[in-house]
Amino acid sequence: RVVPGENGWYFAGFVGAFPAIASTSEQLTAPVSGTLDSLAQSNAELSRYLYNDVKVCVKCGRPCANTQKACQACGTSLAGVPVTQTENVMMGFIFGVERTLKLPLMISLRRQTDNVIVFDDLLAMSSCHLNALLTSHYCQDWRWLLRDPVTARGLLDEMVHEAWQATLSFWANERWRKFVYREGVTPEMVRDNIICGFNSPPSQFQLHMQWIVLP
């Protein structure tokens, strides 16, 4: 008998490792050397795109959206916490910047078009957890899409399409597929159970779709 925790949930306690599906994209040298800060200092026109306005939790240090009332990581109140800026890593990916002040801006790329790139989430919550990042327009969050619904619909359709095509590359791997799914599961069943959406409010000021493929 399994007794849920005080919040009504528990960790399953998975032991082991999921089969890894390597990216087939070639590793390239970053076209823009240095940090986001150095790019901002050398190019005033781009600097407005390179930072997020956030509230940093005083307890755990998690950058949170500046409209949040409590930290999404630890629940600590953000009342009285000043709005500060953090580096916009999503725009760093788009501009091909080498690194932030703390870490290299490297991604495991799965798909790329003129409007969208799809890559593995750096904090993946499943064995296939992707981000579909809009690259053709600066769009801080989903509300900006309401300014032009027709164009927005086309971009959203492309983001979904590319994320699904990347998912099919996982599905095509027999070892991964048999490890994650029981016999009889179809691609259509997988597609119907994907968690898909946007962080709102966001802590990174560029629209990116969370695409979490469930087992």
Tell me the pLDDT tens digit for each residue of 78-97. Answer: 999 999 999 999 999 999 99
pLDDT at 25: 86
pTM: 0.87
> pLDDT of 100-144, one tens digit each?
999 999 999 999 999 999 999 998 999 999 999 999 999 999 999
pLDDT at 116: 98
Asked if residue 190 has pLDDT above 60, the reply is: yes
The mean pLDDT value for 59-64 works out to 92
Asked if residue 7 has pLDDT above 80, the reply is: no
Alpha-carbon separation of residue 202 from 71, 94, 140, 169 (angstroms) = 13, 17, 8, 29
Q: How many CA atoms lie within 13 A of 69 on its CB side?
A: 0
Distance, CA of 117 to CA of 206 (rounded, Å): 12
* Averaged pLDDT of the chain: 92
pLDDT at 200: 87
pLDDT at 1: 44
pLDDT classification of 6: cutoffs 50, 70, 90? low
Report residue 168: phi and psi, to 5°: -65, -25
